Structure formats: C-alpha cells, structure tokens
Structure 1
Amino acid sequence: MKIKKAHIDGFGKWHDQDFDFTANPQIIYGPNEAGKTTLMAFLVSILFGFADGRGKNRFAQYIPKTTSSYGGSLLVEINGHDYVIKRQRGRNGGKVSVTDSQGRQGGEQELEQLLGPMDRSLYQALFSFGQRDLTAVDELNRDEWQQHLQQLGAVGSAQWDQLINQYQKQADHLYKPRGRKWPLNQDLHQYANLTDKINQARGKFHRYQDLQADLKTNKAKLRQAQAELQKQQPLLQKLEHLQQLWPVYHEWQSSHQTRPLANYLTDQQVTMAQELQVREKELRRQQQVYQQRLARIDHQPPQATKHSPQSIPELQRLKEQVVELQAEEALQHRQQTQANQWQQELTAIKTRYHHPLPAPLTSQEKAELARLLNVQPLSRANTNQSNGDLSRTAMIGIVGGFVLFIIGLLANATFITAIGAIAAFATVMYLYYQRQGNHPTSVTTDSQAIMAFGQKHGLQDFPPDQWLLIQGDLQQNAELAAQLQTAKQDQQRYDHQLAIFNQQLPPALQNLTLAAVRTKLDDLLEQGQQARQDIQVNTREKATIANNLAQLNQDYNKIHQQKLAIYQQAGVHDDNQFTQYLANRSVAQSQALASDAYGQQLTAEDRQALAAYANSDELMTALAKARHQLDQLNLTISHTHEEIQKGKVEIDSLVKDGTLSNLEQERANLAAKIWREVQEWLRYQLAIQWVNKALAGASADRYPAIIRQAEQYFALLTDHRYSQIDLTADEIKVVRRDQEVFLVEELSQGTAEQLYIALRLGFVTVMSDQANFPVIIDDGFVNFDNVRRQRMLALLEKIAEKNQVIYFTADDRIKDLDVKILDLQALKRE
C-alpha cells in the first residue's frame, strides 16, 4: 500500500485541506501545534476507523470546532491499482466507502479485503512509532516480537489469535492461579477444607473391607479408561490440526496446479519501462504547458489600448493640454467670483436710479456743465434780489421734496424717492413759471443750453442739479459693465478651448471633469508603458519556450525509443498492451507467491496426512468420530469416578458417626465436579498451546531473517560499531565490534533508539512480501545528532525502495539537510 494523496474535510485543526505524498520518503516538518499529530492520526483513522470517544479515547476523535464536516479521504495505491478510501462521521468508527479506478464502490467489507489481517493495533505496533516508543526501548522483549511475527507470518493467523483469545477467556472463567472468585479456585479451596474436616472427624473406620474389592475393580477400570483417553487425545489433536490446515492445503493445491510460466521481462526491465512511461508522460505534459503558454502569448492583446486608441505621444500632448486647462479653470473660477461681486455692485447702482444710466461725462464735458450750472444760480440770485424773498410755502415744498428724495435713496425705496423728486420738481416749476415773466434774456438762454446739454448726453431724465453728483456712479457703472464684458469674453474663450479639447478626447472621456480626464490619461500612459514592457517580456519568453520545446522534443524521442525497445522484448507495441502484459505478469507472480506461501505453512507430513482425505467432509467425519470416542471415554471416566466415590461413601457410612459420612459424600460430589472442571480447563490450555506451536512453526523461518536484516541496519546506523543482535527469552543484547556484549539498559539513549529502529525496520523489510504498508514515524530522531540523522535518512531512503515512508518532525534542523520537505507551517500561511 502507498498513500498518494489525502483530503481532509474536517479533522482537528485541519479543514478543507489537501496533502500530496508523492515523495518517498516523505518528510513533513512543522513546529509544535502545527498539526503533525493530527495529520498522522487522520491517516490511521481513515484506514482503521475513528476513535469512539469513550474512556481514554475521548480526546482522540479530533472532531473539528470550526466546521461541521468530519472526515476525509485517501487516494491509495495497492498492488498497482488506485483506490479512494473515504470515511465520514458515523457509528462504529465512521461510515466508510471504497472506490476503485473503474468507479466501483464498496464499503467496510471491501476495505477489510484490502487491509487483510492488518488492524489498528497491529499497524501501530509494526509500522508506526515515535519518540514515546523510543524512550521505552528498554522494555522490549522477545515475546512481543514473536507475537507480531506470528500475526503476519502465517495465513489465517488473525482467526487463530481470536480462537486463542476465546479459549483463554473460557479457561480464565474456570480457573486462575491467583484468583478467588472463579469456580475451580473456590471448589479446590472447599475441597481442602472438607479434607481437613474429614481427617479430624475420622477416629474410627470399621466394616469397610467388604467394599474394598469393588473399589479396587473400579479403580482398575478408571486406569484403563484413562490410558485409552491418553491414546485418543493425540489423534483428536492431530485431526483438529488437519482441519485447521485444510483451507491452506486447499489453496496450496489450487495455486500449485495452476502455477504460471516464467516471465519474459525481468523486474529491472519492468521498472525501467514504467519509469520511461512516467518520464514520457511528464515530458508530454511539459510540452502541452509550453504550447498553451505560446498560444496565450499569441492571443493576448496589449494592455495599453483597451480604452483609448491614441498613441503615447498623443496621450502625452492631451495630458499637457489638460494641465493648462486646469490652470485656466482655476483662474476662471476666481474671475467668476469677482464678476459676481461686480454684478452685485452694478445692480445696487442701477437700483438707486429709476432710469437708464447714460455714459459718464468726460473732463471737458464736466467743465462745460459746471460752467452752465454756475451761470444759472447767479441770474436767479439777481432775480430773487429784484423780486424779493421766496414765499415761505415754496421753501417748505422744495425742502420737503428734497428730504423725501434723500430718504428714498438711502432706504432704497423707489416710491418715496419718486414722491420727493416730484414734489421738489413741482415746486421749482411753479416758481419758474411764476417768475418767468421777470427773467432776463440771458437766463432763458442758459436754461435752453442746459436742457440741450442734458439731451445730448442722456441726462434729461435727471434733475440738472444732480448731473454732476451722479457722475461718480455713472463712472463706476461704466467700469463695472466693461469688466463684466471682459469676464464674459474670457469665459467664452475658455469654453471654446474646453470644447475643442473635448473633441480631441475619446468618447468615454468627453463627459468627465478635467481632474478625472487627467487621471484617466495617466492610467492610459501607464498602461501603454506596461504594454511595451509586456511585449518585450513576451518576446523573450517565446524565445525561451521555443528552446525548451526543442530540447523536450529531443528528450521525448529518445525516451520513446528506449521504451519501445523494452516493449519489443515483451511482445507489445503500446502502453495499453504493456499494461495488460503487467496485469498478466502480476497474476502469474501472485499465483507463484501464493503457492510458495501456502507451501511454507504445510510440512511434508501435513501434506501427506491431508492427502489421505478426498475432501473436507471426509476429514470432518473422521474428526467427529474421534470426538465422539473421546466423549464416551470421558463419560466412562466420570461415571467410574462417581462409582468410586459412592463406594467410598458407602464404606464411610458404616462409621457410626454420621457427620463423617455426610462430609465424605459432600467431598465425593465435590471431587467429581472438580474433575470435570479440571478436564475442561486442561482442554482449553492444550488447545492454546497447540495453536501457539502451530503459529510459531509457521513463522519460524522469518525470525532469523528479521534479526539478520536488523543487524545490517544497526551496523549502518552505528557506523559498524555493533555487529550482532541477540534476542534471548528475557532480554535483548548487542555485540560490539570488539566482541564485548551489552544489554539494552547499558546503551546510551541514542544507541538504544537506533537498535529499536533497526529492529522495527528489519521487521518491516522482511515482512514486506506479506504486509506492505506505509511506515509512519513521528519525531523519532530527537536524540540524534546531524551525523546520525544523515545515516537515518539514508536508511529511510533504502526502506522506501519497498515501503512508503512518512516522517513527521518538529526539529527545524531538518531544513539544514539536503532533503525535500513538506512545511506545514508554510502550508497554513497559504
């Protein structure tokens, strides 16, 4: 078996996580709390079931806290075929499913067929170990190794072990050497007590001679039956032994009769062909990757002109214009603010007057107006002197109208201003017409000149005496109007420039603000520069890919020819035919191995004895007959025992003391019961001894091979300082190069751990033909220095030739060695 991939739906701290175990040996690094133990527990749990959560297993379930999913799947390779083993939450270790490469699905029964005799406890005892096991190396004993060897070294040993356990339980329910509550223990204790009481009560024993002859006869009959029983028991044991071996004998007959012919290719040639297949597929994959990359490069459009068709110089020119327009935009914003102020001032001036405002007078025109206005008052003064003072009523009217006029201007009230102006004007016109007849000719002439001046310069709508006073407002009005006109022209010029600029932009940018346009232009310029760089990079990459493709084509043709050369030796022409050839070859090899394995478990004597029976029914008939005869003998012995005890009771009853008679009868009954219990207990013990001897004989040839292999590994790990391993019945010894002998307890911790690893890996190597499972090591080399660790890694690579090796470690010094590792800490960051 080889674990190729693992997917964890939810298990402890891992959820929705994939792992690849294609490397062999696979070294997995992670500091404490990185999830190493969780991942190792997941691998074992998928194969053998989740912990039930009871007792000491309540913390071994690894139920996730962040997801409801619990379980996952393994992609494993077994005998060249891929299987997906998936296990999810459920009863009795979880719900399991097995899917082969053809899509066929199965359940727990199919998984048991794939695992064979391997279960969780046996796997952890043989193929999985860690630092905790190494620290207990001084507790190793030969019996544990012998038991593991028996479980894998003999066909059907799992069922035999179950039978041993069953016999042992049944025997323990009858008797234990140090027990008190078991039936036989209690009966023996009671029998001793009764014997003591009988010896005390027996003072006289009369009149028993008449029954001694019958007692003697029964004892002779008992001895004869017991002798016959001893003859029949070996025959029954032999028949039971043959009955246990019959399935093995039947399989040996089938495989021996259909033994295949020799193979055309050696294992080395097959391995070479498979390696060439893998390399050919990898080269083809690399070719496809390069060709796909070339296609993507050829069809990849430049990134620069997705949004704008302009060239980079044109984009640069537009960017310069937008910068200038942004500056002009800021200027126009400030000027618009000033124009708003000017417009407010202009509105305020126009609001003071109720007539259109004329253009302001020039300096000469102002001088002329002042001259005209100066003449008129002098004439009026002379007139007034000649005609006397104005009437008091006229003065009140003029002053009142003027005051209302001023109040209206200050309060910005048009109605009051108009009333004041009309009142003052009406009073003046009244006085004018009243005194018109008294004015001289010069006065009339000046008034006409003033009116003509007002008509000429648009001042006729205003009182003449205000013409000079309003010149300041007229001048400011003209200047504000001129400034507003200039601002309007500037705005029109800016709008025209902006319209022309927008026409030059792509349609997608025409409705954006200048700031947004500038940002977009910067993006387009940057994309253009990036496109140039991408084109250069793609050109260089295409040249590199072309060179790599040429080299790959050469390598592919060379490997393809080498593969075809091996195919020709096997008589095949393509991969499909070679796959079929390997399947036929594997079947032939399996038949040969099965025949050898079954043959090793059958001695020549066993085969000869089994050949005497045509079928299993004939053997079962002989076995049933022998059992029946043995039961009859046991019945005769039991009945004879009862007769003897009855005779003794009858003899003892002649004693006058009735107490002795009752005790003898009670002891006689108890003795018969003890005899039956002893017979049953001995039957179980003899069966256990026979099964153990059978298992030991089936695996005896493996044990020396394991020790020899372990000695080689131990010598490699210790740089040949130790050359021999001696396993006695009670302890383990090692022999140093100078022939000095050491117990395990006398070795340093590091050397003792190396011995333990050598024994475990020697066991795995020798038994790989019977049970080939991944070897999982959890932080097994903490006490090793760099030199020992290098040797250990070299040994793991050697073991990886036959078994998959997965090594978990939290020692960051592993990164200093030239090995490929899977970093769980880096995997979590991703």
Structure 2
Amino acid sequence: MKIVDIHIYGYGQLENVTFSDLENFQVFFGENEAGKSTIMAFIHGILFGFPTKQQSSELRYEPKNGAKYGGKIRIFHEEHGFAVIERVKGKAAGDVKVALDNGTVGGEELLKDLLSNFDKSLFQAIFSFNLHGLQNIHQMKGEDIGKFLFSAGTLGTERLARTEASLQKELDSRFKPGGKKPILNEKFHEIHDLHKELKKAAAKNQEYEQLVEKKLTLQQEMEEITISLQELKEEADKLSEWKKIRSLVQEEKQISKELKEMGDFQFPVRGIERLEQLNQSIRPLKGQMISLQERIDQLKQEILSSQPDLSFLENESVLMSTLDQIPLVEQMMLEKQKCETRLTEMDEKLVLLKEKLHLSINDEEILAINTNIFMKNEVESIAKKGQKLIELQQDLEKRFQEEKDSLENIEKDVQFAESQILSEKERAILEEQINEGSDKKGLEIEWTTVKDKMKFYQDETKRERSLQQQRWIQFMIFELILLGFTFYSLKSSQWVLFLLGLIGCIMMLIFMTNNFRDSKQEDIRKTLDRLKEKEKKLQEKLQSAEFRDLSYLIEQIKLDDHRRDNLQILNIKLEGQQNQYERVIAKFEDWEKEAREHKKKLVALSSNLRIPEYMAQSHLDEAFELIEQFKLVGREKQHLLERMKQISLEQARIAEEVNFFTNRYLSETNKDLHKIAYLLRNKLKEEHEKYVKCTEKQRKLEDFAADIQQLNREHQQLQFEKEQLFNEAGVEDEQFYYEIGNKAEKKRKLLERLFILQEQLQYSLLNEAERESFLQIHHAEELIAEYNNKALTLKSRLTELQEEQASIKFEIQVLEEGGVYSELLHQFRQKKFELEKEAKTWAVYHVAQDLLANTIEKYKNIHLPKMLAKAEEYLSFLTSGNYQKIHLQRSGTGFLIERKDHTLFEANELSQATTEQVYVSIRFALATTLYENFHFPIMVDDSFVNFDARRTQKVLQLLKKLKKNQIFFFTCHEHLLNSFSKESILQLTKNTIEIHS
C-alpha cells in the first residue's frame, strides 16, 4: 500500500494542508512544533480512528480555531487499485468513508479489508518507528535489555517483555518457596498454626466427637429408609398404571396374534379402487375406436372419387407466366412501330452530320474512328495547348519590349553616376589627410588613459601600505602573547607548554617574514615607472606633429562614399535587369520549341481522326464533337434494329407456348389468344378447387388415423396397468384379485387399530418388558395394599429417627456454643477457603506464564530463524561487518551478539549505540520478513538522533534499500537533507508548508 496524497481539513495546528504526489522515500523536514508528529498521528487517525476521550494517553489533536476535524488520504492498494479514505468527526473514533476507483463505497469493513485487519497497536509496533523504542533501551537494566530486544523481534514493541515481567511479578507476590511475605506463604503458616490449636481443642472435646459420630449414623439410616420408601412408591405406581392399561395390552396381543396367523402376502395399495377405475376407462375407449374407423373408411371413398389433374397443376407457374405475357404482345407491336419511326429519324440525322464533316470516307470508316476517353482528353489537351501558346506569344512580346526599355534607362543612370565619383588618386589624398588627423585624437585618448592608470596605482600603493601596517601591529600583538605564554611556562617548569609556546613563536616569525615581503609594492612601483615613461613619449609625439581641420575632408569622403553606394546599387539593378532581359529571350526560345512539339502532335492527331490538317488547326474541338455525335447516332440506330429483331422473336415464343397448353389441356382450339387465356384460367381454377378439397379430406383422414392410434395406445396402457395389478397381487383373474383385496383390507384395519393401541401405550410408565411381566399378575389390588402397609411402617421409623437426630443436634450445639473448638474450627475453615481462593488466582497466572513460554518457544523454533537471518544481514551492514551474528539464548528470552572475532556478548554488554543498532536491525527485519506480504508505509520519526554521522548514514542507506515499503522520514536535522534528493523533501514551517529547494 502506498500513500499518494494527504489532505488535512483540521488536525492540531494544521488546517487545510495538502501533500500531493508523495514519493516512495518521502522526507518531512521541519523545526520543532512544525507539525511532523501531527502528520504522523493524522495518518494513524485516518487509518485506525481518532483517539477517544477515554484514551487519555493519546492526544486527540482537535483544531482550536473551529476547523473541520479530520481529513482524507489517497492510497494505491496492490489488490484494489486507487482508493480515497476520508475520516471526519463523528461517533467514537470518527465517521469513515472509503471510495474505490471502480465505484465501490464502504466504511469500516472495507477499510479493514484494505488494511488486512491490522489494528492500530500492531501497525504502530511494526511499521511506525520513533524515538520511544530507543529510549526504552537507555532506561533498562542490563539483564532486561536482552528480553526487550526479543520482544521487539516478535511484536515490534516491548509488550512481550513487559507481559513476561508482569506475570513473574504477580506470581512472586503470591508465592515463593521459602518466602514469608507472599500471600500464599502467609496463609500456609496461619492454617498450620490453627490446625495445631484445633487438635488440642478436639482432645478436650471427646464427647463432642461421639455425638457427631452418632449423628452421622442416624443420618445414614434415614437416607436408607427414604430410598426404600421411594422404591415402594414406584412399585405401587406401576401396579396402579397396570390396572389402567391391562385391557389395552391384552387387545394388542390379540391383534398381533391375528396378524401373525394371516401371514405375509402382497396386494397393491388401493388395489380394488384402482382396478375399478381402469375398467371404467377401458369401456368408452373401445366405442370411440369403432366410430373413428367407420369415418376413416368413408373419407377414403370420397378422396378416390375427386382426384385433381396433378400434371396440369405442376405446370401452373409456367402457365401463369405465359398468360401474364399475352398483354405484352400488343405493347410489343406498338414498340415495333415506334422503332421504325425512330429509325427513319436516325437516317436523316446521319446524312446531316456527314455533310457537316465533309469527309471523303464512308459510314463504316467514321464509326471505326477512335473516340475513347483518352483520345478525347488528348484532343482537349492539344486544343488548350494551342490556345495557351497563342496567349503566351502575345505576353512574351509585350514583356520583351518592357524589359528592353528598362535596361536602356538603367544604363543611362549608371553612366551618370560614374561621372560623379572621385578618382582613386583624389580619394587616396583625402584619406591620407584624414588619417593624420585621426592619429592626433588617438594619441590624446591614450595619453589621458595612461594618466588615469598612474593615479590608480598611486592610490593602491597608499592603501597597501596602510593595510600592511595594521597587519604588522596584529602579528606583533600575537607574537608578544606567545612570548609571554612561553616565559610563563618556563618559569612554572611546564616543559610541554614551554615547547608548544616556543614552536608557536618560531612559526609566527616565519609567517611574518613570508607574509610581509614587499613583492606587491615592488610590482606596483615597476608598473608606475613604465607608465611614466609611456606618458613622456606620448607628450613628445603630440608636441612634434602638425595637424589641420578635418571637417571639410570628412564631408568630401562621406559624399563620395554615398555616390559610390548609389553606383553600386545601380550596378546591381543593371545586372538584375540584364538577367531579366535574358530570361525573356530564353522564354521566347522555349516557346518556339513548344510550338514545334505542338504542331507535331496536332498532325499525328489529325491523321488518327481522319480529318485534314487545316481543319485540325482551327476547328479540332468541333470536328471531334461531330465525329462523336455521328458515332452516337450510328450506335443508336444499331440498337433500334436489334430491338425490333428481339420483339419479333418474343412474339413468336409467346404464341408457341400458348399453343402448347391449348393442344394438351383444351378440347377446342381458337386463334384468339385472349379467349384461349380465359379458358386456361378457368380450368386451372377448377383443378385448384379439387386439389384443396382433396387435401382437406386427406388432412382429416390423417387426424382420424392419429386419433385412433392414440386411443389404441391408451387402451394398451390401461390393459398393461390392469395386468400389473394382477401381477402385484399374484393372481390371474379378477375373482381371485377381489378375494385377496378383501383380505388386505381386513389386515389394514387391524394394523390401524394396532397403531392406535401402540400410540396410547407409548405414554405409559411401564415399558414393554414390564408389561409382559405384569400379564402374569392377577391380584394387583392386594399387592398395592401390601406396599402401602410397608410404607406406613417405614414412615413411622423415619419419624423416630428424625426426633432422635434433633435431640443430638441440640446437644452438639450446646457443646459448640460453650467451648473454643467451634471458634477454632470456623477460623480454620475460613482460612482454608481463603487459601484455596488465592491458590486459584496463582494457578491462573502460572498457566498464563506457561502458555506465554510455550508460544515463545514455538516462535523461536518456527518464525524467529527467518527474521534473525535478515536482522544479521542488516546488523552487519550497519556495523560495517564488526558484528555479524545474532544467537538465541538456549533458555529464556534474549540474544547473544557475535563479533567478527567470534566473541559473544550479551545485550547488556554492548555499547549503547551498538545496542540501538541491534534494535534497529531487528525492527526492520521484522517488517521485511514476518510481515513481508503487508506493504504498509514505514514511518520513522527522528529515531537516530543519538547516532554519530557514520552510523546515521548507514541507517539512511539501509532505509533506502527497503524498496517494497514506502518510507516516511520525519526529521528536524538540516544536516541530514544532503543525503536525500531535493524532489523527496517537504519542508514544514510553523505557519506554512512548502517544498524544500
């Protein structure tokens, strides 16, 4: 599980705070009271509920400014995907709402499923790591450290060690062998003393013991009499019960005897009734079968007398198709007349088109000319190309004249510009005069620069001398202090300090000698000398040279530069215009080439179209269009001729088909097609009516056959059921069947009566064996009277014994009230009861200790080895291999730590820092082995403040290796931030929360 986002509505000092896109290793850095512990408690509260008011040991972090108490976190779960857990103030631990990305919404049950039913204490013990665990190690005695580490390796906290110590403390407070203060030891001594005093009192009270013995004898005799009275009462009750049920038992015996004499035989259940029902069903079935057979014979005769002409009906589709075509004959005649008229028009149109073309070729040759789409595209292309060449020729002629005029104008401008510029000799003279003037300005600027540098170095020399004097004073003061320290050490005979002081003085002198060399001032002095010499040379040069005013010369050079620039621009324009002129001439040449190609294609195309060349040059489109029209009209004429031929053939076919049906199915022949069609339709209708009637009768015949077949099956089924009844009864005819049926009915009634008797007898006090024995008794009244007399005698004796027992009790009471024995006996019994009560409490704690010891032993043998192997790996890493093994002690709960030289140490023998490293190794191993399937975030809150820098870096490196769990590291130590990437650090302040950079 990974925490992705945190949104705090209000929790402690934090209000409306959001953390987004949390890293796998997230560092929260801030000063004290910046909110680190609050964020950690907030995560615990959202996952497991807010602390209740009864849990005084935990802070509730309720907002003081009225903000909404609670917040939400967004997590990624390996099984359920992304989920949002929101908890706000409500009943008890707050109201929680869980929403999954797939739409599922739930409460505490869904949250427990996401958290694998972890509770808060277990989560904090395994995955929440703070300074508290390490502080416990510092506060423990030496012998308890091993137990604490073992407890941390099992539960993640010291609870196991606390529980074990608590149980032992409870046991020791109740009993110790040879002890005096524990409760059970005190009770044993008290009972022992009371038992001695009780024996002394009993020796003086012999009469009391005799009375007690006699009381016990009387009590035993009274119990025996009570048992005898109970037995007599039970015997009398049984005899009374027998008097009530004797007639029922005798009737039961009689019925059982009759059933035994009847023997075993089979007869169907409700056999007589079922046989009569079958007979009633069979009789009407036979009548129905006879009636249906008569109707079937009648229908067969009717079908034979009205059979249709099936061959005529089979040709119905062909006949109807032929008859439907008869009206088309007249339409075909009309269409044929129209075709003849249209054919005449086509001939006239062809003559007209041929005259327009005025070609010396016949019609077949015209029709053979290729006018497909490719030829048409070529005609259009060549025609467009010819028009385009004419337009291009006109455009080129116009552009040629324009470019020629522009070229002549630019050539005139160039000639004028060349006449305006200075010659090269005149320009060289002016530039030489200007250069001389420029040298003067440069020398003046250089002289000023040299003077500024000299002033800077002179100021720097003054500052350096002042600083050197200050440093010299400081070093002299330090030297004097060291000399004083050296003389003091010599005077007080502290030779080590004297030697140190002497070395310090010598080193200070060497340092002063090296530091106060005048190398820098020497360099500055040399630089000043060079600058002064340069200043002198420049001044001499300025005084010896002759200079004049340069403004006029510069203006002349600028004007010449401007004219030269204009000339250069005009030359460029001239070159461009010449290029344009040449391009127009080149285009003229390209046009002539294209014109020759166009003429060649035009000649080839006129040959293919069989038209003269002059016609192709001026009227190519019109000639091609007329040829297309001629071919179109010619094809249409061919289509009309073919259609007229098809009409004639179709008329002949229809007449032939009608004659076929007339000759085969009609007696009279007639040349009128419409009358013949009418007669054929009437005959078809008559045959259809015969076919329909015959089909209906055939369907009825099939229905009757199915009905009679069904009745036949029912009749056979009823006969089969009747024979089954006979077989079950073991007879062959109905007479024997009825005799056995009567016998079965009688047996049924006897069984019903027997069942009723047994129902009544099952509530009797007497069981079946007792009822059998009582059948031999004939004088039950006399036996009852005898039992009553014996009971009266025993009751009289019991009354006498009760009176004697009351007298003895009174005498014992008098003795107990008058002596010390009764008091001692009461005290002895009271102390014995208290001892038994305390012993039970001691036994409970002892059993709990045994259970805890057995559980620890099982954990040591099964789960602990895997955890210790990982803890050894972590410890070796944290201690750089100095400590490599963690061994279990053979008895009890504790560890032995093995150093790399194979020396074993108990936990209390290790240094404080090494003990903390063992604890850290065990805690991390517990989370990554025994709980490796639970990938909850591990939260560490400044738990390594007592480590030095090397140990701290080792722990941080180990944390970074725990890739399966998200790590939240809370710290207030800024020097640790260099160990993490900037993206993983969130900086917390008391007022705001910002990303650390």
Q: Same fold (TM over 0.5)?
A: no
- Is the helix fraction higher in 1 or 2? 2
Q: What TM-score does the superposition give when structure 2 sets the normalisation length?
A: 0.33
Q: What TM-score does the superposition give when structure 1 sets the normalisation length?
A: 0.40
